[in-house]
Homo-oligomer: A and B are copies of this chain.
Amino acid sequence: MSKVIDGKAVAAAVLEECRSEVAEMRSNGITPGLAVVLVGSDPASQVYVGSKARTCEDLGIYSRKIELPEETTQEELIKVVEELNADSAIHGILVQSPPPKHIDEEAVIRTIDPRKDVDGFHPENVAKLALEDSSGFVPCTPAGCMRLLKEADVETKGANAVVIGRSMIVGKPMALLLMAKGSDATVTVAHSRSRDLPGICRQADIVIAAVGRPEMVTADWVKDGAVVIDVGINRVDDATKKRGYRLTGDVAYEEVAAKCAAITPVPGGVGPMTIAMLMKNTLKAAKQLSS
């Protein structure tokens, strides 16, 4: 039987750590603050932003939600970010992705003070990750995956890790974290253009699936006893569901779970970790800015 890595439980534990830290910081006169900027009215983004704000409030983190109309210009958005950069009540700034098409997302990210860049997308934090400088912010999803591996007692040292996907949000930072000193995995980054993806994946002790294709990783891709972290969250039509779809990861869960040593479910695996690591990053920012 395979061991399910319970992301909900680990995320809850991380949030309890955060709650204690917030209490201690507040007793020292520092209230950590997170600003989330949402441009437009994408329903999924509204759900995410609402969930981040509620989590903050639950932990005692000051939360500011800034909702801007769809037609906000790039200059207006950058002005909002600059005001947040200068606002001492705000330690973390996040611009919800994706912004409307007329906004240059990378340009906006570059205007965030890197010390408040709790998403870890600013070039300065990207560089710190590559340079193994721990003062930077690690993007929340790969940071969450690393925490899950740790909590599941997975040995990364000398392990063969295969990361499927090469995005700057997950694949590349994940690879950099796994190959860094201390983690010491042998890391392969595979992607849609890789030859014999199943064969590459079969050699992995640790599989990180972050490619966004529902149930692509099937049992014949995974070696007995591997650990599988499923970052994908895909909607698949399902007439038996009231809402008409179900959520599924990049891994064919049932068949892979039957042969691997440990696996994250979807939902309830990596998903809950992302927001928990965002809270961690916000506290780190508040501590660094206050010290």
Taking beta carbons and an 8 Å cutoff, which residues of A are in contact with B?
106, 123-124, 126-128, 130-131, 157-160, 166, 168, 172, 175-176, 179, 184, 186-191, 193-195, 200, 203
Contacts and interface: CB of A to CB of B under 8 A. Distances in A.
B157 A193 contact: yes
B186 A194 contact: yes
Given A158-B194, A158-B195, A194-B158, A131 B189 contact: no
Which label, helix, strand, loop or mixed, suits the secondary structure of the A interface?
A: mixed
A160 B195 contact: yes
Given A130-B130, A131-B168, A158 B123 contact: no
B130 A172 contact: yes
B186 A188 contact: yes
B130 A168 contact: yes
10 contacts: A123-B128, A124-B124, A131-B168, A172-B176, A179-B189, A184-B191, A186-B188, A186-B193, A186-B195, A187-B189
Count chain B CB atoms within 10 A of each CB in A128, A159, A166, A203 and give the residue with the most. A166
Nearest to A200: B186
A157 B192 CA distance: 11
A273 to B, nearest CB: 22
A195 B160 CA distance: 8
Nearest to A188: B188
Contacts of A193: 157-158, 184, 186
- Cβ-closest 10 pairs across A and B: A123-B127, A188-B188, A186-B194, A126-B127, A127-B127, A158-B195, A184-B193, A186-B190, A179-B189, A126-B130
